[in-house]
Amino acid sequence: MAYKGLDSTWFPVVLGTLSVSLAFFIIYLVFHNVLIFNIGKIIYFIVLIFFAFVFASWIYRYIKNKKLIKEDYNDMTKLSFLAFLGIFYYAFAFFYVAYVGVNAFVAYLFYYLLFLFYILVLVINIILNYNLYTNKYSFDRITYAILVPNVVMSANIILTSIMLTPPMSGYYNTTILRTVYFMVMVAFGISFFQFLFVGISAYISHISNKPNYLQTVPAAMIPVGASSMLIINIMFMPQFNYIGIFNVPLNLAIDISVILWGFDLFLFLVSGAIAITHIKKRQSMTVWAYVFPVGVSTFADYMIYDYTKLEIFVYSIIVFTAALIILYVYSWINTYFITGRPVKK
């Protein structure tokens, strides 16, 4: 059989693998274990190769069959997953600084590419919501996958956090710093209200679509990533007060973040219970939605711990990391059954 390429549902597989690198990096920040740091670094470079293969296969798929472009445009999930290209850039750039380093050329390259991917994700978000508001998607097909561009909008903080803080901020003038911070605030506003309104619609759609719930139930973990990304944004904002354009009090940021963390933990426990009770059932590629939101949660937990020093967040980082690895292995096993052993009709 001729190779047909891969569609955008494989992007979460790459992101899930990258989330493992992120979790090891967070563990390193907490316990200062160089071995853990090096493991995360190795995984990062493996992910770069993996991403190159998936991305090339995705392009090849369209070259092989151009009709698939229109089909994927009309598929809410596949169109949503295109936004993962944005978070790949933010995360790859973040880890490049952490694992390799930065200079003036790299700093300005990151800055200009930030605009490119920021606009890309925004356009995908606008198209999805246009299709949603003009009833191009039937209500029973709406899932939490539509929140992916929403999560990625606020995920720019993964990169902008290091752009706006020393030493990388030393490469930029005040105008650039203010522009980047403005972009952070705008993306946060879009993500927050979309999370409320679109997220509620996806929730109602899911519980109303009982016959096919197994195919979309892993996406119940996506709100964990959304709320965690909001926490990360809020916790970084007080660090940017020195720019002199917005002023977010540190105590207020901590208070709101802990409140959101409670909701984040609740969503994680619900989704974890769903994963455990359905572990023997074959699911779709959306099973990877179990993975990357948990990786984002380790980041959010560390941000709160870094300020509060409450031990509960150390334990939650350990628990989230263990859950991430378990869900990662489970997702690969499930993927093997989907791609390697297709269901007999």
Predicted confidence at residue 115, as pLDDT, reads 96
Residue type, 196: L
**Which residues lie below 8 Å from residue 272, measured CB to CB, with a gap of 6+?**
323
**Sequence-ordered alpha helix ranges (H) in the chain:** 11-31, 34-64, 67-74, 76-81, 84-99, 104-133, 148-154, 157-163, 174-208, 213-216, 222-236, 250-277, 292-308, 311-339
Count of other CB atoms within 10 angstroms of residue 101: 8
pLDDT along the chain (345 residues), means of 10: 82 94 94 94 95 95 91 88 94 93 95 96 92 80 84 95 93 96 96 88 74 70 91 96 94 96 92 80 78 93 95 95 93 81 44
Phi/psi of residue 248, each to 5°? -110, 115
**Which residues lie below 8 Å from residue 97, measured CB to CB, with a gap of 6+?**
106, 162, 168
Predicted confidence at residue 214, as pLDDT, reads 65
Predicted confidence at residue 127, as pLDDT, reads 92
Q: How far is CA 181 from the centre of its chain?
A: 20
Predicted confidence at residue 55, as pLDDT, reads 95
Predicted confidence at residue 282, as pLDDT, reads 66
pTM (predicted TM-score) = 0.91
- Judge contact between 85 and 120, C-beta under 8 A: yes
Predicted confidence at residue 319, as pLDDT, reads 94
- Judge contact between 330 and 57, C-beta under 8 A: no
Predicted confidence at residue 210, as pLDDT, reads 59
Its sign, for the CA torsion 227, 229, 230, 234, is positive
Predicted confidence at residue 171, as pLDDT, reads 96
Which among 74, 50, 55, 41 has a CA at the least distance from the CA of 6?
55
Q: Give residue for tokens 């996406």.
A: 219
